Amino acid sequence: MWLGEPFTTIWKMLIEAYDGIPYGGWTGFAVFIVAHYVGDFILQSREIATKKSSSILALSIHVAIYAATMLAFSFLVDFTFHQRAVFVIYNGLLHFITDYITSRMTTKAWKEGNMEKFWDTIGAADQFAHTYTLYIMYGMLINK
């Protein structure tokens, strides 16, 4: 085995993965789950996370970042321009509505010291609603 063999293997794997783009089916849905994690958690600052329950501007900034992330990741999925636009716009709107409600619920639970309700709201209500929204929207668009 020569020194470059591991790099050659990695290169071949990357080429094979790239040849699979754009993704469809369950892999396409998985792309949006990863995009959701990036847009909803990684790219959300602590300031936006704490202010979005009391500030429409902060919530709007969060949703704009989330929608931009969804748009960027949507180019990895086998969508037409129309499907991409519908997916990003509707998921952005539904994300806004979900976070408008759940961020207020979590803030209230936090202030009351009710950590069970706080985590139930984030884990069950908020993340379930987001995942279900992604699933339904993706399913409706990919099956057209």
Per-residue model confidence (pLDDT) at position 1: 45
**Top mean-pLDDT range of 45-49, 55-59, 122-126:** 55-59
- Mean pLDDT, residues 45-56: 93
Over the chain, what is the mean pLDDT?
86
- Mean pLDDT, residues 58-69: 97
Per-residue model confidence (pLDDT) at position 124: 82
The pLDDT confidence band at residue 126, using thresholds 50, 70 and 90, is: confident
- Give the predicted TM-score (pTM) of the model: 0.80
DSSP string, 18-30: HHTPSB-HHHHHH
On the question of pLDDT at 15 being above 90, the answer is no
For 75-109, the pLDDT digits (tens) are 999 899 999 999 999 999 999 999 999 999 988 98
CA–CA distance, 26 with 5 (Å, rounded to integer): 32
- Mean pLDDT, residues 2-29: 64
- For residues 49-59, one letter each, b for 16 or more C-beta atoms within 10 angstroms of the residue's C-beta and e for the rest, the string is eebbbeeeebb
The pLDDT confidence band at residue 143, using thresholds 50, 70 and 90, is: confident
Q: Do residues 83 and 144 lie in contact, with contact meaning Cβ atoms separated by under 8 Å?
A: yes
The pLDDT confidence band at residue 59, using thresholds 50, 70 and 90, is: very high
